[in-house]
Structure 1
Amino acid sequence: MHLRASQGSFREQLGRWTVICLFLGLMTVDLFARPVVAKLALSSGTLALYFGISILNGLVVAALSMFLEWWRCSVVSTLALACRINPRERILRMGAIGFICGAMALAYVLSLWGLFALTTLIILLTLAHMRRFMHGIAGLLRPNRRPSWQDIGFLVHIYITVLAALTTLTISLELLSFSLGKAPAFHGAIMTGEATMIDAFYFSIVVMTTLGFGDITPATPAAKLLVSFMCLTGYAMFALIIGVVTRGITTNEEDD
């Protein structure tokens, strides 16, 4: 029996992919709509323009999400057991999730209340994913438990989700500091008011892999706490995944 239970419900799919879809939504806003968003942030703008960008970004993220689910079900179907149950419906659900998250991304960037609300949501979802990760690891460490590729895919998916969540929390701290007129949360390549998702994504990878180039450093207590959590979480999760893979290979060799 694999780690994952039935994944046919929309609720399960929503819980698994909301963080990644929000990450994609923020990334597309940052890459393609940054000049317009900057103008909206400096002025009241028009309601039509605001909703227009939100809907457009939602459609872009919906398309990306549907492609991601199609690729997951078609190319790596051996790692996606749930795709065997009505894959077309799952792809359409992913489109709906992507549209909602993409449309909400603009509120995350421009609204202080939206920033607080979505940050809280991401924190709660991250904790839930980490709980699932530890539950899965505990199951794989049982005697005579042979890890499968589906088990490894399950763990890698959670690792990527946590990476996306911590990237979003990194940009949240910088946006919050900028919105409240406080000192920047980070020094270096990330500058107040100029932080990008690319910067935050790069920084999260560097921290979670414990490379620590030093070109971006935390400057506030909140940022230092976040970075400390990222280091411990990234190192522990990566080490556990490698341990599971090694155990699976060793078990197969012993059987041979």
Structure 2
Amino acid sequence: MVGIVRPWITRGSLHHVLVLSLLILAGCGVGFWLLEPRAVTLADGLWLAFTTAATVGYGDIVPTTPAAKIFAVFVVLLGYAALSLVTAAIAAVWVESAEREVEREILHELHAEVKRLRADLQTLRDERRD
């Protein structure tokens, strides 16, 4: 049970970073929905937050008020940070899995070598007895 729950609550884990990024994006969406008159629905605010945070800027909805434009600057900075954290967390998962595979191979080779050494030692003991 602990093994299942741990990735969701471990700080810095991929799950934690994804949830944090989604919460940041949702907060930015609500902010745009409140500040930007062209963002009529919450979905429009979320879309504007996503396109701004990802620096895509499709132009279908753009910040028009001074408050929304200033808020957009902070959304871009938060977007860079959040997307960088998600990218880093995904890379860490891949590197960790590659490291585990290398460790498995090393341990397999080490166990095989220990087995051969034990066999050689037993052979030497048997020869000494004879």
Aligned to 1:168: 30
Q: Matched residue of 2:62: which SS?
A: strand
Aligned to 1:152: 14
2:51 aligned residue (181, 201, 206): 206
Measured in 2, the distance between the counterparts of 1:240 and 1:196 equals 28
Measured in 2, the distance between the counterparts of 1:227 and 1:161 equals 17
Amino acid at match of 1:214: G
CA offset at residue 244 of structure 1? 2.1
What's the CA shift string for 1:188-245, capped at 9, x where partnerless?
Answer: xx26xxx111211111111112111012221222111111111121122111221122
2:67 aligned residue (222, 226, 229): 222
CA offset at residue 154 of structure 1? 0.9
CA offset at residue 173 of structure 1? 1.2
Measured in 2, the distance between the counterparts of 1:243 and 1:78 equals 19
RMSD, aligned CA: 2.4
Aligned runs of 1:61-210 on 2, under 5 Å?
Answer: 79-80=7-8, 136=11, 151-174=13-36, 184=37, 190=38, 195-210=40-55
Aligned to 2:120: none
Aligned residue pairs total 98
Aligned to 2:99: 254
Q: Which ranges of structure 2 fall in alignment gaps of 5 or more residues?
A: 102-130
CA offset at residue 169 of structure 1? 0.9
Amino acid at match of 1:244: A
Amino acid at match of 2:44: D
Amino acid at match of 1:172: L
Measured in 1, the distance between the counterparts of 2:49 and 2:94 equals 29
Amino acid at match of 2:53: M
Measured in 2, the distance between the counterparts of 1:80 and 1:231 equals 27
Aligned to 1:231: 76
Aligned to 1:177: none
- The structure with more helix, counted as a fraction of residues: 2
What's the CA shift string for 1:87-133, capped at 9, x where partnerless?
Answer: xxxxxxxxxxxxxxxxxxxxxxxxxxxxxxxxxxxxxxxxxxxxxxx
What's the CA shift string for 1:114-164, capped at 9, x where partnerless?
Answer: xxxxxxxxxxxxxxxxxxxxxx55xxxxxxxxxxxxx11111111111111
Q: Matched residue of 1:237: which SS?
A: helix
Amino acid at match of 1:156: L
CA offset at residue 78 of structure 1? 6.7
Amino acid at match of 2:24: V
**C-alpha distance 208-242 of structure 1, shift in aligned 2 (>3 A):** same
Aligned runs of 1:49-64 on 2, under 5 Å?
Answer: none
Q: Which ranges of structure 1 fall in alignment gaps of 5 or more residues?
A: 1-75, 82-135, 138-150, 175-183, 185-189
Q: Matched residue of 1:217: which SS?
A: coil
CA offset at residue 77 of structure 1? 5.6
